[in-house]
Amino acid sequence: LQSGIEDGDIYDGAWCAQYRDKKQWLEVDALRPTRFTGVILQGRNSIWSWDVVYTYKVQFSNDTLVWTPCMNGTEEAVFEGNQNAETPVLALFNTSTVARYIRINPQSWYENGTDGDICLRAEVLGCALPDPNNIYAWQTEPTESKDKLDFRHHNYEEMRKLMKSVNEACPDITRIYSIGKSYTGLKLYVMEISDNPGKHELGEPEFRYVAGMHGNEALGRELLLNLMEYLCQEYKRGDQRVVHLVKETRIHLLPSMNPDGYEMAFKKGSELSGWALGRYSYEGIDMNHNFADLNSVMWKAIELETDKSKLINHYFPIPEQYTSEEAFVASETRAVINWMQNIPFVLSANLHGGELVVTYPYDMTRDWAPREHTPTADESFFRWLATVYASTNQVMSNPDRRPCHNKDFLRYNNIINGADWHNVPGSMNDFSYLHTNCFEVTVELSCDKFPHASELPVEWENNRESLLVYMEQVHRGIKGVVRDKDTEAGIADAVIKVDDIDHHIRSVADGDYWRLLNPGEYQVTASAEGYFPSTRTCRVMYEHYPTLCDFRLTKTPKQRLKDILARGGKIPKDLQLRLRQLRLRKLRVTTKAINQRRAAAIRNRFTINSAHSRFEEDQTKQLGSQKVQGFEFKLKKNGSSSFFSFFLFRMIIQVHSLHSLQFLRRLDLTALSAQIFLQPQLF
């Protein structure tokens, strides 16, 4: 019982008694005979509650009718509980007891707490025993794995040794490198697995798994260490699936993004590390809220820009205030951002623990609501990615499994939009999608953040197929190379646009690109600065390989001219002719516009002259001295000017204000062929 009613409150989950007396108890059914050895107790600590149990008793039963107390010699044992709400306290029994049921019976508690409640969090220790008569035998999980891997928790030094041993066993397909250091100086090691390690191959996608962002969520770390062992062993054995994956994909595994936090949790051990110890960096930073908030940048631009065609929808730049040395950004976060920028990743997953669900972007709500469905332009593909992992995970896909905590994700098929679960500004998933070409989801691997080492073989069996099939999704969609039509050189930073999906990606240094898409037919356009855009139809099939969709772009004449002049060369005749044609076309367009304006002016003049003729017939007898509302002016008979003068004055003299009169005094009345005599009494 480890998390809260409110998802954002990581301390609040607890069992609370209905009444405040010593008759209350928490009963656990182990479903089969179990050798119970001890209990770990915690209190309840949250932003609105603080409760602890100081002392408690324990009873055992095989049928829930007869209960046997845990004894300390001739007296019933009373165990020490908590003095504070967060620190786990271990109590081991003097002798282990075999039973199916166990009760924890509080005897004293903090009565001045929130309403004086009896609240606790507990973990029961024991070993399951075989029982041929167990009606729940079909629910019994395997305790071993057929794979011969190093199933244990590895601290920093042990992790280094394991990675080195994998590299020595498979030197042709592995490489170890570091992307930076933690706050205390521990290196962030990555294992690369590829048939050509250390090199980006044209057309081969880059994939990454990241684990240990929260140091106490240890399962992801061990799964990635097991995965690198497994891929090495199966590649040497000649497993076709693994061989194909290694040869067609460049795989990067970062098992520990927060090694400082892990070391803190590891020292306490899986049973005593608690729910939060080691979650944060050494500086106290939650790295899953520490990436640049590009969501707000995007949504603000959408609100301010009236011309939607000018909006960008990818490769959002990082705000300057985030990159400054004074910014509160963890060194580990900076290292991962540089890693993302240096390698053209296509697909990724971020491994966490404490729940059983796969979440996909966006993780942040648009209006900072606590939770609200906030989809990306690639909502359908992200749902596919999440479903792929969840549906192949043996625990998530079990329809009879119990929820980890208060939220039952089985109702959502074990996938959910991140923002629809809880608001996470500054997440790595959102940053990856908005700043790079890479799509990323978060996988919550297990109810227990730091499972016991004995559970690791089972967890590997639960996740092995999911880890493999998710990596294979990097080959779904379209891929190709954008080249210069004349030189066949790859074009970097070409924009790949898919009609009806408002999120573009870009080609990388060699001109190759990958666009993850669900099966279907798409209109795809490639464009680059200095080139004419090109559009073609690309059909994505259901097979596990991408559709090739290459582009050859033609340089614009202007760009060709720039290139030639930059080299100091002569302009070829075909380019001269092309430029002359463009100038003539521009001249024709300009001339046409001028002629259209002239024609419009002639039509307007004809209309005015016609009106003027009718006007002069009506006004001939009235020419001379005229008075209009306090103004005296004279009109000269000189053609159309009398009409314009009279028309102008009739419009302006409607306004009776000193401001308007001063404006009239500044008019060039001579140009209007009129004389105005302002009566002095008006001033």
Handedness of CA 292, 344, 491, 565 (dihedral sign): positive
User: Any idea of the CA torsion for 191, 197, 203, 204, to the nearest 10 degrees?
Assistant: -30
- Say if CB 644 and CB 672 are below 8 A apart: yes
Closest listed residue to residue 104, CA positions, set 44, 45, 22: 22
Q: What is the DSSP code (8-state) at residue 317?
A: P
* Other beta carbons less than 10 A from residue 604's beta carbon: 10
- The active-site residue out of 217, 222, 229, 444 is 444
- Say if CB 207 and CB 348 are below 8 A apart: yes
- For 192, the token pair is 């690369």
Strands (E), 17-156: 26-42, 44-45, 50-51, 53-61, 68-69, 71-72, 75-76, 79-80, 89-109, 119-128
The CA–CA distances, whole Å, from 368 to 5, 151, 293, 297, 424 equal 20, 42, 12, 14, 9
Which string of DSSP letters, residue by residue, matches 502-565? ---EE--TTSEEEE---SEEEEEEEE-TTB--EEEEEEE-SSSSPEE--EEEPBPHHHHHHHHH
282/618 Cα distance (integer angstroms) = 93
* Other beta carbons less than 10 A from residue 311's beta carbon: 12
Phi, psi (deg, nearest 5) at residue 253: -120, 115
- Say if CB 15 and CB 42 are below 8 A apart: no
668/675 Cα distance (integer angstroms) = 10
Closest listed residue to residue 562, CA positions, set 575, 553, 573: 575
- For 298, the token pair is 């995007």
404/407 Cα distance (integer angstroms) = 8
Handedness of CA 648, 651, 653, 655 (dihedral sign): negative
Can you give 603-634 as a three-state secondary structure string? HHHHHHHHHHHHHHHHHHHHCCEEEECCEEEE
Give 226's contacts (C-beta < 8 A, 6+ positions apart): 147, 149, 150, 151, 456, 460
146/227 Cα distance (integer angstroms) = 14
Q: Is 303 a catalytic residue?
A: no
The CA–CA distances, whole Å, from 498 to 237, 269, 503, 520 equal 41, 50, 8, 12
> What does DSSP say about strands 206-211 and 551-553: parallel, antiparallel, or unpaired?
unpaired
Conformational region of residue 593, where left means phi above 0, alpha means psi within -120 to 50, and beta covers everything else: alpha
- Say if CB 253 and CB 167 are below 8 A apart: no
Handedness of CA 330, 331, 335, 337 (dihedral sign): positive
* Catalytic residue set: 444
